[in-house]
Each structure stands twice: as C-alpha cells, then as structure tokens.
Structure 1
Amino acid sequence: MQSYISNGFNICDNFTPISFFESISNPPKEDDYGFTTISDFQVTMQDYLDKLHAKKRDKALIDFDCYKSIEEILKNPSNTAISTAQFRYWAKKMFELSPGETKVVCHNGKPVAIKETIYEILLDAHKIANHGGRDKTSAIVKSSFSWIPKELIARFVRCCPTCRFKRNGNHLDTFDSCSPPSTIDYTDLFLDAMSIEASMPSTTLWEILAGEFK
C-alpha cells in the first residue's frame, strides 16, 4: 500500500479514487478503553466555537453549506450573485480548487476538512497514531487536510478514554477531562487554525469527497 502521509504527497495534486485506509488493524489491548465518542466531540467542538470571538466563529470551521458556496465561487469567479462581495473575496484569497476532473476545495495544497467530517478524520488519525497523543495525531492530521484547528485535535485527544487512562496512572478519571484549560488564548488558537493542515481521510469521507462534492 502506498503511503499518503510521507514523501510530500499532496492529495490536491493526486486525487484518485482509492481507499486511503485499506487496514487499520490495531487489536484492542487490555488497557484500551476506546476512543472519543462523537457525542463528546460534538459537545467540545461547540464549546470551542462558543468561546471564539463572534467575528471569527463563522469561518473557524467550514460546514457543508459554506464549502459548497466556496466551491461555486471558485468554479464561477465572475458570478457576483453568490453570497456577499466580502465572502467572495475571502473565498478566492484563501482557497483553490484541485486540478483534474474531480474538483476539491483546498487550502495551502490540502483539502479543506468539512465540519461534518472532522470527527471521522480525527478518529482515523488517532487510530493510526495508536493513541500517540496530541502532537502525533496532529502530525497525521495536517499531512493530508487543512482547516482543522489544532485546539480541536487537542480536545479530541483530551476526551479519549484510553489516553485519559494513560495520563492518570492507569486509572480512569471521573471528571470531565474534555473541558479545556481555562487559560487557553482562543485568539491565538484561531490564528493557528488558519495554517493548520490535516489528516488522512477514511473510506466514508473519501466517498463524500469523490461523490457528493462533484
């Protein structure tokens, strides 16, 4: 299987319909308590957004509707009927379409992660990292995707029950460790998010990118 993490692979230049994850076969261990659940992640993701400044919140993550608007602007740059002039300017400045027949919205050469798929991306990356922590998971994430804030990656790992087990001396903690430290500077975190590039897609996400977004 070809590696899509190393050797400078750029999905926006090499968009071909194959599965990125032919196998993720790390058998569960006695101390494996699973991964962050989607419900826990949705709660902490909303908390992250709520604590951003209102002006930054709308563009901190790219949801499906925003993605489609950006895609339309890039495909029809002279169409002034799409959204607002400010949004069109931002879309043209920050994003580009991948070359080839299948067009994908990219930022700095990496596909933009859509808000609705971020959990799946982080779950796959954390599986590949084998619960390796924030930095290892983040490195896998940003090798193939963009527009996933590093703080969300940190929160995903913080919520992971297996990682909590390791952090607490092989004892599962009983407090809500998904909550972020109170001293986080969310302005700096948002600026980091503008340059973050992110993870390997799963088969399901691939089907979304290769199918629904044509």
Structure 2
Amino acid sequence: MAKKRPRRQHAARPDPVQERLADWLFLRTLDDIELHLKTPQDRYSLLGIAPLLRKLFVDGDRLVERVNRKSRLSLQFVTHEAVRPAVELGGETRFWAQGAAVIPGHDSSPLAFCESASAWMAHITGEAGGRPLRVRDIIKHCAHVEGGVHLGRPSSVQEAAMFGLVHALLDDNLPSEVLAGSPVGALSPIATVSLAGLSTLRDAVRERSSGA
C-alpha cells in the first residue's frame, strides 16, 4: 500500500491589521527615540532609550525585521571600528565603549559598514570584563539590569562588569563626559546610528502608511 505524502504546510497569510499595527508602532518608536535624543540627557532619560532599541532590534519578532518583510530593503548602519582608549572606566571592571565614536565622522578611526540590523547588533563597540562588548549587549544590559525595562541581576561576564560601575554613576550631578563614557551613556550614540540606518525603511513605511 502506497504511503500517503504528508500534507504541505502553507505559510499563514500576513494579518493586514497586524501589518498596519507594526508599521504604526515602528514609526512611533523612531519618533520617540528622536524625542529622547532632543531632550536633556540625564541618566534616567537615557535609560528610556533602551526599551525602544530593544523593541526594534532585540525582542523575539524584531520590529525592524517584521516591518521590512514587505519592503525587503537592504539596510546599512555606518559606524567606526572600535579603538581601545588610553584610559578605561572602572579599573578592575575593565570597561570601555566607543560612546560617541560610533557616530560616523566623529574621529579618524576606520569606518565599519554593518550591512544588516543583525550585523549592527553584533558590532563590537568595546570591552567589559575582558570580553568583547557588542551593541546588543549594551541594549540588553541597560534594559534588563539597570532598569530601562526592569531591574535585574547580571547574567554574563560583560553585564557583571558593567553593573560594577553603577555605584559610581548614580550621582545626579555626574559630569556629562563621565556619563557619556558609561553603558547608559552609550545608548544615545547607538540610537543616533540606528536612526540613520533605518532612514530608508522609515521613508518606505511612511509612504505605504499614507496610502493605507
């Protein structure tokens, strides 16, 4: 007796309401990031960027990828290669991050071209605890350990090293250059590069949303 062939599984059709919702959420999230970047950047306001970046790039069904399934655009995030500074923050914690140096044109270090959102999240932007520190690591740490989304315990060597700096960074009168060199301070330039890399997708979503 001939065996029956298994039924072919058909991919579920995209829900048009969910697609419109994703587009709307994507545009509003980028607007919210821009608003954070325009307001005075104390530690608390900077932490508010973490859940927005997490929503776009880190969460399970990443919003950037979900929205780009229809447009299928090639995304490029332009930044600089990480160059170890002469002085590291935190002594024994061995932490340093590019900070504003991720923004192209900030200095003369070589440019790095991240050809996808995943490549941008994997970009090495420093070191913590003797291990490479990626853009994704900073976003997750600020969201899940330092309180951007909720307070939590460090779950990696990098997070433990970054958390070791917190006690010295809770002063509301902290000099801006010290805050800028911290994990939370790195969120602002990361957001700036992210907005630039998403500009073409943002335009495409705006166009299709206006005609919906």
Which category describes the TM-score, using the shorter chain as reference length?
under 0.3
TM-score, scaled to structure 2 = 0.26
Over alpha carbons, which structure has the higher Rg? 2
Q: Which has the higher contact order (CA 8 A, sep 6+)?
A: 1
Greater share of strand:
2
